[in-house]
Amino acid sequence: MSFRPLHDRVLVRRVEAEEKTAGGIIIPDSAKEKPQEGEVVAVGTGARAEDGKVTPLDVKAGDRILFGKWSGTEVKISGEDLIIMKESDILGIVG
């Protein structure tokens, strides 16, 4: 895949939700909530301030992150469903 986000944007692969509950009940697709955890695939160069300075992002490719339920824009790149979001939509790094 040759896609590079611009500026302070991040490309994220959603981590799959659990198929079963702790008690062993299988959750049908229609009842699953989309997970709010993902893996950073690619990051932009950073946010540019008004004076022209670029501030690098705090996340990097490979980081596991948490993000808001309505964060980002879903896109399909090379047949894979991914999300593009601004770094400010990321709640934190899991790890």
Confidence bin at 64 (pLDDT 50/70/90): very high
DSSP strands (E only) in the chain: 9-14, 37-43, 47-48, 54-55, 64-67, 73-77, 80-86, 90-94
3 assigned to some structural domain: no
pTM above 0.85, yes or no: no
Provide the pLDDT for residue 35: 65
pLDDT at 32 over 70: no
- As for how many domains the chain has, the answer is 1
CA 56 – CA 43 distance, rounded (Å): 10
- Residue 54 sits in a domain of what CATH number? 2.30.33.40
Residue 1 in domain: no
pLDDT of 28 higher than 90 = no
Residue partners of 61: CB distance under 8 A and separation at least 6:
40, 41, 42, 43
Domain of 82?
A: 9-15+27-93
